[in-house]
Structure 1
Amino acid sequence: MRILLLGGTAFLSRATATEAVRRGHDVTCLARGTAPTPEGVTFVRGDRDADEGLAPVRGRQWDAVIDVSRQPGQVRRAVAELDTAHWVFVSTANVYATPGPGGTSGPPTESTDLLEPLAGEVMASMEDYGPAKVACEQAVVEGMTARGGTSTLVRAGLIGGPGDTSGRLGYWPWRFAHPSGPDVLVPDDPDFPVAVIDVRDLASWMADAAEQRLDGAFNAAGPMVPLAEVVEAAREVAGEAVVPRPVPVARLAELGVNPWMGPRSLPLWIDDPSLRSFAVLDTTRARGAGLHTRPLVETLRDTLAWEETRTTPRGAGLTDSEEQEIRATLDAGQ
């Protein structure tokens, strides 16, 4: 197959390009060139924000286009200008109007109500991320349907694994492997639901979607496990004797510890009850279409190996000094 990847140099798009090449496909990546493309990929320089950004790949027939954009204007232009019979668009669980289980409704399915689409062409801030992706989905479906083609909408949950610079998952095995003291601080919320899909599993299934021209929307996420299981698996792969130290959620807030990701945080966990299960999705349809996910412990082990080699700052978690400061405050009973 002749596959065009709009991107291809970072995390999911890079893993997808690598997998497609491994399968013997002819893969071209259109990107700005801020990072190298995987071996075996044809690199074409282009900026999708420029008027003629797609010019280098126009006028060619592609068997599939894979797109990860969050900008509706970019997607509309690409669908209109590129010649292909199938489009794989990486969307997000954030498109759902009510994320996560609500009452007895259970996790979102592909028929769960979506947010209103972003009206403009440009997503100006992350507050518009969900609506922007809805608008992108609509542009893909409408454009491909009009030309008699097909499209796969990949509504991805939380993605982790080697190469994840956010550090949301990688922080936990790394912290247990590099303790700042006799224990590792964790939220005292052991049942918090976590669903992480390994980037390599998602990339493999996206290659399947391109090959099989899977049509429609598919939730793609890992199985739900409690936070306590993630912490214990991280401790296992680190092979260290340190133990987790649960800290009450209210106390974490008092100590200025942030949820989810970013500086001075304890990742993966969210303290907002309305977002408690936002990453948990009903993946029945995708699994019926061949989505397979590896054991969490394997993802954590490989992520730790990558974390040990990374050259960029980790985007989430507590630094040694922050954890030591918080531990000292807790020990003093303050």
Structure 2
Amino acid sequence: MRVLVLGGSVFLSRAVAADALARGHEVVALTRGRTGGVPDGVRHVVADREGPFPGDLAAEAWDAVVDVSRTPSHVRKAVAAVPGAHWVFVSTINVYADDTDPGGPGVGRLREPEHQDLDPSTGPEAYGAMKVACEQTVLAAVASATVVRPGLVVGPGDPSGRFAYWPQRMRRVLDGGAADVLAPGDPDDVLHVVDVRDLAAWIVDVAERRTEGTFDGVGPRTTVGELLDAVARGTGAAAPRWRWAGRAELEAADVRPWSGERSLPLWLPRPEYDGMAAHDAGPALAAGLSPRPVEDTARDTLAWLRATPDAAVTGLTAEQESGVLRGVAGPPPTPGG
């Protein structure tokens, strides 16, 4: 199979290129050449998608195209250039208009499409609306397509630093640091994660099979408590003492949700985000997505962090966490692992 990856140098698209190459497929990656590098053995074409789609690539025969773009004009040009391949378009669960509703494809209401190229940093609304437009462009114009809407993608190489916060926090426990660990919200809050390598392998699977349809590319539902215990086991931090802080306490301490400076990563205020964290993995699992245990992802992420001193890790600093913990009344600490 000849696979064109529009991307290929960062996180998921790089994992897709590596997986397809490992299976013996011929893989070409089109990138701007500004971040990272494509896997060894992948043919690398450097071009800025702000310009015309490269004519030499459009003239070649492709069995599959994998595109992770969030920019409508980029997708329009690529679809017009390579309409005959099976497309796997990587979208996002941010296409859903109501974050309280876990309804998936065909059920959940979508944002209104935004066909203009906006700055996605303006917020999830712009990002999700542009992804809706990209989905529509692909589905309307190509021979066959799979649309994959991932939720929280985790694992080695993650440039967001969200999930990496937790293996890194366990690293401080392992290195003899404070074992009292600030934990977000309610331990029974639902969420889901999927390892980047498992999602990439499934994307290659559906490309090989020319699977048609739209899927929420999420892992099985778990809880925040179960996930943090799995991270502790996977990293070998047998007995962190979870100090659970509710929303009111976190907001009073100026702890921010999800990611970024002064955040407690993976925390989402409830009930506003109940749906975003509870999409159904069943259809994707039935179509072949095979997630590994969170313990394995945590172990490998910690190994990556140790080998990559400049890896991105977002969230509270040790000093900030200590300050918050001093003000958390909460129930007695609960042992992890």
| Same topology, TM > 0.5 | yes
The amino acid of 2:158's aligned partner reads: D
Is the 8 Å Cα contact of residues 47 and 54 (structure 1) preserved in structure 2?
no
The amino acid of 1:109's aligned partner reads: G
| CA deviation vs aligned residue, 1:5-61 (integer Å, no higher than 9, x gap) | 0000000000000000010000000001122110110001111012x3433412111
CA distance in 2, matches of 1:67, 1:177: 35
Q: What's 2:215 paired with?
A: 218
Q: What's 2:251 paired with?
A: 253
Find the partner of 2:178 among 173, 181, 184. 181
Paired residues, number: 321
Q: What's 1:120 paired with?
A: 116
Q: What's 2:163 paired with?
A: 169
Q: Secondary structure at the match of 1:250?
A: helix
CA distance in 2, matches of 1:18, 1:313: 20
Q: TM-score, normalised by structure 2?
A: 0.90
| CA deviation vs aligned residue, 1:134-192 (integer Å, no higher than 9, x gap) | 00000001111xxxx10110111110011112221121122022145241111241111
Is the 8 Å Cα contact of residues 259 and 266 (structure 2) preserved in structure 1?
yes
Is the 8 Å Cα contact of residues 163 and 265 (structure 2) preserved in structure 1?
yes
| CA deviation vs aligned residue, 1:185-204 (integer Å, no higher than 9, x gap) | 11241111110011111000
Q: Secondary structure at the match of 2:59?
A: coil
Is the 8 Å Cα contact of residues 89 and 140 (structure 1) preserved in structure 2?
yes
| CA deviation vs aligned residue, 1:55-83 (integer Å, no higher than 9, x gap) | 34121111111100001111011100125
CA distance in 2, matches of 1:316, 1:121: 27
Compare 209-218 and 110-119 and name the one that shifted more. 110-119
Gaps of 5+ in 1: none
Q: Secondary structure at the match of 1:128?
A: helix
CA distance in 2, matches of 1:90, 1:55: 23
Deviation at 1:242, TM superposition (A): 3.2
CA distance in 1, matches of 2:183, 2:16: 33
Q: What's 2:332 paired with?
A: none
Q: What's 1:141 paired with?
A: 139
CA distance in 1, matches of 2:10, 2:54: 19
Q: What's 2:273 paired with?
A: 275
Deviation at 1:255, TM superposition (A): 1.0
Compare 279-288 and 168-177 and name the one that shifted more. 279-288
Q: TM-score, normalised by structure 1?
A: 0.91
CA distance in 2, matches of 1:58, 1:188: 50
The amino acid of 2:110's aligned partner reads: L
Find the partner of 2:148 among 136, 146, 154. 154
| CA deviation vs aligned residue, 1:249-291 (integer Å, no higher than 9, x gap) | 2111111111111111111111142113303222332222211
1:284/1:178 CA distance change after superposition, 3 Å: same
Gaps of 5+ in 2: 330-337
Is the 8 Å Cα contact of residues 154 and 219 (structure 1) preserved in structure 2?
yes
Q: What's 2:105 paired with?
A: 110
CA distance in 2, matches of 1:223, 1:181: 31
The amino acid of 1:186's aligned partner reads: A
The amino acid of 1:36's aligned partner reads: G
Q: What's 1:38 paired with?
A: 39
Deviation at 1:246, TM superposition (A): 1.5
- Percent identical across equivalent pairs? 44
Deviation at 1:315, TM superposition (A): 4.0
Is the 8 Å Cα contact of residues 95 and 114 (structure 1) preserved in structure 2?
yes
CA distance in 2, matches of 1:188, 1:59: 53
1:85/1:119 CA distance change after superposition, 3 Å: closer
CA distance in 1, matches of 2:184, 2:67: 36
CA distance in 2, matches of 1:324, 1:156: 33
1:278/1:188 CA distance change after superposition, 3 Å: closer
Q: What's 1:192 paired with?
A: 189
Find the partner of 1:201 among 192, 198, 201. 198
